[in-house]
Amino acid sequence: MTTSGSYDFTGYQVLVVGGTRGEGHTIASSFAASGASVTVTGTMMLRSLYDSDLSAFDYESVNLARQDSIDNLVGLVDHIDVLVLAASCHLPFGLPAGEQAFIAEAVRSGLLGPTFLTTRLRLKLSKSPALGGGCVVNTGAVRAWLELSSTPEAAHAQLVDTTARAGEQWAGLGVRVNSVTQAPRTVLPRQYAPSAPVGGSRVAGGTLVRTQQQRVGDAVADAALFLASSAASRITGHTLRVG
């Protein structure tokens, strides 16, 4: 169970990149339940193409592997208090190796992907009147983009380092930058892994039990709301591990 009721984000404008499903959708729903006006992004042109209920949010389409798509999204943003980066990396199937290598290097250099979007929005975030200023929350999805050109361990180290440097450099703008990542999970042998229906929960003795994925998703959402709240107004440059 999330603690969204513990926070009041009334009047906040929140952008959750990748908020159409999974962890991002949980985060977006938690902010909306706390009073924020939330916009979510996805890669599809229409919100109706998603199975998730997006009725509580505004919707915009963006492809983080294209600068023109990122620029278009930035142009649509008038005011923003919180930016949550939860869009996993999904490159087109069958992408030529040379083009994939180019995208990977551009992401690593901050010329594409979540880091580029954050940089393009930094001045708009700096205008937020929220206590502590505008807030950026990276999730583990950002690490997936960095893994295009490095190992998971190196990508995690880069995320931690990038978060710390951005937190220090952007403090003068009044923008806080933090990250929330999952701790490594133990993979059960296939024959012992519990099965679950499509809804993500299973029934045990007549009781609905939340799966590990759901619990971790809730924990990430709770951490994101905390980092965006006034209680964390002095916290920047940190990476929290949950799960």
Q: Which residue has the tokens 């024959």?
A: 191
Residues 137-190 have pLDDT tens digits of 999 999 988 888 889 999 999 999 999 999 999 999 999 999 999 754 443 444
- Distances in Å between the Cα of 217 and the Cα atoms of 41, 57, 97, 211 are 18, 19, 33, 10
pLDDT reading at 205 higher than 50: no
What is the rounded average pLDDT for all residues in the chain? 84
pLDDT at 116: 92
Closest to 138 in 3D by CA, of 153, 154, 117: 117
pLDDT score for 82: 98
> Strands (DSSP E) along the chain, which ranges?
13-17, 37-42, 58-61, 82-85, 134-138, 175-182, 201-204, 207-210, 239-242
Which has the higher per-residue pLDDT, 203 or 128? 128
Give the confidence band of 231 by pLDDT, cuts at 50, 70, 90.
very high
| Whether the predicted pLDDT of 59 surpasses 60 | yes
Report whether pLDDT(243) > 80: no
Listed range (105-109, 169-173, 228-232) with the worst mean pLDDT? 105-109
Mean predicted confidence (pLDDT) in 70-77: 96
Q: What's the maximum distance between 2 C-alpha atoms anywhere in the chain?
A: 55
